[in-house]
């Protein structure tokens, strides 16, 4: 059995796998646009955690590229969330609903 303490890579990968799976589940099953966005954020956070863990547990020593990639993912996730929420507010103002099934077609 693998060591699942904080000093092992497998613990971080297990947490990242659970985060990614729950993000896929949330994005696939939600009809509400905010639920889908939360699922996407979970998937991005899982990817950032994996990059940081691989950078930390590299065989040749600490690698700052993993942490750099994780920070880049966090910045991209923040920009994605800001743009998506702005679009959601625009859709809500026009249709008074953010249900993805009802807002497939935008009309003015």
Q: Is 3 helix (H, G, I), strand (E, B) or coil?
A: coil
User: Tens digit of pLDDT for each residue in 37-46?
Assistant: 889 899 999 9
Query: In CATH, what number is assigned to the domain containing residue 48?
Result: 1.10.287.3510
pLDDT at 54 (0 to 100): 86
**CA nearest to 70, candidates 34, 4, 16:** 16
Q: What is the pTM for the complete model shown?
A: 0.74
Give the structural domain span for 35.
Answer: 9-95
Q: Are 98 and 92 in contact (CB under 8 A)?
A: yes
DSSP string across 57-106:
T-TTS--HHHHHHHHHHHHHHHHHHHHHHHHHHHHHHHHS--BTTTTSS-
Tell me if 105 is assigned to some domain: no
How confident is the model over 25-50, as a mean pLDDT?
88
In the predicted model, is pLDDT for residue 86 greater than 80? yes
Give the chain's domain count: 1
């Amino acid at each position: 059995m693998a060591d699942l303490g904080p000093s092992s890579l497998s613990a971080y990968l297990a947490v990242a796998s659970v985060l990614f799976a729950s993000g896929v589940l949330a994005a696939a099953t939600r009809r509400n646009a905010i639920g889908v966005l939360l699922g996407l954020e979970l998937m991005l956070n899982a990817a950032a955690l994996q990059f940081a863990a691989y950078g930390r547990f590299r065989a040749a020593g600490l690698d700052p590229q993993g942490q750099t990639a994780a920070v880049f993912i966090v910045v991209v996730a923040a920009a994605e969330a800001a743009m998506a929420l702005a679009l959601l507010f625009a859709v809500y103002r026009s249709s008074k609903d953010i249900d993805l099934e009802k807002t497939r077609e935008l009309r003015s």
